[in-house]
Structure 1
């Protein structure tokens, strides 16, 4: 099941990740980049949640933010 957050909820989740997880966003992006090469975002979110013990909501927000920033780098 895929989670779709509103833009405001997404921003709030991203802002809380360092305090909730004890890791900053760049550390999570590194984990995503070094993790398995899944093609689908929901597969990456599930892996991130299961492998690192974070909620699926935070995992989904991290994967979406990683994809958003990655797309911006390519333009």
Structure 2
């Protein structure tokens, strides 16, 4: 399953995550960084969804946002 949502869908998902999950985006980033060392985004998404009871869509949005922020830190 693809991790790619449209930009609009991704923005909406990210905005709803704190309300839906009770956790802010930086908390989810910490969870990903402290989790298993998966090489692929889809593995991280599957783990995040299964381990934390998230829908695949929210898990994918969190992982995609984490990757985007991580790339920006390196530039």
TM-score range, shorter chain: over 0.9
**Deviation of 1:4 (Å):** 1.9
* Aligned counterpart, 1:30: 30
Count of equivalent residues: 75
Matches within 5 A, 1:1-75: 1-75=1-75
**Deviation of 1:3 (Å):** 3.5
Matches of 2:46 and 2:57 in 1, distance apart?
10
Matches of 2:54 and 2:20 in 1, distance apart?
9
Runs of 4 or more off by more than 3 Å in structure 1?
Answer: none
Matches of 1:56 and 1:2 in 2, distance apart?
10
Matches of 2:30 and 2:57 in 1, distance apart?
19
Query: TM-score, length-normalised on structure 1?
Result: 0.97
